[in-house]
Amino acid sequence: MESSGARGWKPDIVSMEFISNPYPVYRRIRAASPVYLSDDVGGYMLTRHQDCDYILSNPSFGKDFERRIETEISRQNKLKDGDSIVPFSKSMLFLDPPNHTRLRQLVSKAFTPGAVERIRPFVENLARDLLRSADRREYDIMNEYAGPLPAFTIARMLGVPSKDMKRFKEWSEKAVLSLDATRPREDMIAAARATSELGAYFASLIDERRNSKSDDLLNSLISAEESGDRLNREELLSMCILLLIAGHETTTNLIGNGFLALMRNREQMQLLCDDRSLLRSAIEEFLRYDPPVQMVARGVMADSILSGHPVSSGSKVIAVIGAANRDPEVFENPDRLDITRKNNRHLSFSKGIHYCLGAQLAKLEGEIAINALLDRMPNARIAQEPVWRNNANLRGMESLLVTT
């Protein structure tokens, strides 16, 4: 295990050069030191599929590190006195059993396949509406389409009034910065404030809706019950914030990264245009090829061995999803986009008990969004090189200008 890679090489994983294209760096890290101690992320970066799969599935590697997140951010003096990301960090995203099990059982009752399928007509109509302005010379996929579509969808599912949609998108974009520990202090402060504002908004909305009979996700969460148990107020707030951020940011980047990959691989784009039955496998391949979430952290609960290297209890390990998804030991021609790929064992929705609860919704939105783009602009071309967001974890673009 090395802290600086082969022959003293040290990757700069917070540079814009890396963020724009991390995959050559992942490949080099995997070859030199697959269990790589990084000061930038404060733990061991795992770049082999086998190791990432193992820690995501094994209870010896936990997620109940809410206090560690706040402590680390505070240690780096990245929050002002009184600021906190706790309302978000108390969600099941950061919990282990039995707390995680209890919350997931309650929430899953509201997040059924039927509930997801019922939103399909809304998403299809929304996609068409958002693309009405796509006959201009240039169209920004990210800001005019990939961003609004999942944001409006999850807001609709939660029963949020349409007048608040824009504020929701802004809050989400700021709050999600708390998931990237490499961000500067001003970003963490903005994230804490956005999280606080989201919490206050949802608290008011929950109070309004407790006696409502409307059939939406928020009411389902309020009324969800398991053996007499229900979500308390704090848990409801955390879940609403999690659903907004997870249901918006990651799907936005799935759509954007996926369509960019198609435009850069014209033969694959033509293949999908000609055969829409490949949409499902195409979405899986987009998730593998350029995943929206690049890294997932775990706390080491017991001394362990990874790729022959010891990692001690109390340390932090990071499953580098973007690297695992391109491991040549698992994927043939891993750097090639192949929408017909079989047995696609990507880890983009995590694994085990923390497998993404919203995976089916993300896939449905992705399929509808890409299908509508191909209908509307089958000959789309990149107008200028995309501008990537300065985030080493959540991989997505600030803008993607295309000619239609």
Share above pLDDT 90 across residues of the chain, in percent, rounded to a whole number: 51
Strand 43-46 versus strand 316-320 pairing type = parallel
The confidence score (pLDDT) of residue 216 equals 80
pLDDT at residue 355 in the model:
85
For residue 2, the model assigns a pLDDT of 47
Q: Is 346 left (phi over 0), alpha (psi -120 to 50) or beta?
A: beta
Dist CA 90 CA 265 (whole Å): 41
Instruction: Provide the 3-class DSSP secondary structure of residue 397.
Output: strand
3-state secondary structure of 223: helix
Of 94-103, 137-146, 331-340, 384-393, the range with the lowest mean pLDDT is: 94-103
Closest CA to 255 of 402, 145, 388, 377: 145
pLDDT on residue 75: 44
Taking only the tens place, the pLDDT of each residue in 335-372 is: 999 999 999 999 999 998 888 888 999 999 999 999 99
User: What is the rounded distance in angstroms from the CA atom of residue 320 to the CA atom of residue 349?
Assistant: 12
The string of pLDDT tens digits covering residues 176-218 is: 777 666 677 888 888 888 888 888 888 888 888 887 777 788 8
Which pLDDT band, with edges at 50, 70 and 90, does 122 fall under?
A: very high
The pLDDT of residue 145:
97
State the distance between the two ends of the chain, measured CA to CA, in whole angstroms: 49
Instruction: Show Cβ contacts of residue 287 under 8 Å, excluding neighbours closer than 6 positions.
Output: 254, 325, 346, 348, 349
For the ranges 44-48, 101-105, 297-301, the lowest mean pLDDT is seen at: 101-105
* Domains, the chain, with CATH or none: 6-403 (1.10.630.10)
CA distance 307 to 289: 24
The single-letter DSSP state of residue 302 is: S
Which of 12-21, 78-87, 111-120, 207-216 shows the lowest mean pLDDT across its residues? Answer: 78-87
Rounded Cα gap, residues 218 and 70, in angstroms: 28
How much is the pLDDT for 177? 73
Asked if the model's pLDDT at residue 4 lies above 60, the reply is: no
Q: Model's pTM, two decimal places?
A: 0.88
pLDDT at 83 > cutoff 70 = no
CA distances 163 to 24, 174, 188, 341, Å, are 43, 19, 27, 42
Please name which of 297, 271, 378 lies closest in space to residue 65, comparing C-alpha atoms: 297
Please say whether the beta carbons of 365 and 390 come within 8 A.
no
Q: Are 260 and 386 in contact (CB under 8 A)?
A: yes
Of residues 226 and 246, the one with the higher pLDDT is 246
Q: Give the pLDDT confidence of 306-340 residue by residue, as tens digits.
A: 999 999 999 999 999 999 999 999 999 999 999 99
Q: Which residue has the tokens 């997931």?
A: 104
User: What does the alpha-carbon distance between residue 94 and residue 65 come to, in Å, rounded to a whole number?
Assistant: 6
Q: How would you write 85-118 as a 3-class SS string?
A: CHHHHCCHHHCCCCHHHHHHHHHHCCCCHHHHHH
Query: Over 70: is that where the pLDDT of 70 sits?
Result: no
Average pLDDT along the chain:
86
Containing 225, the helix (H) or strand (E) segment is none
Name the more confident of 95 and 302: 302
225 pLDDT band, cuts 50/70/90, is: low
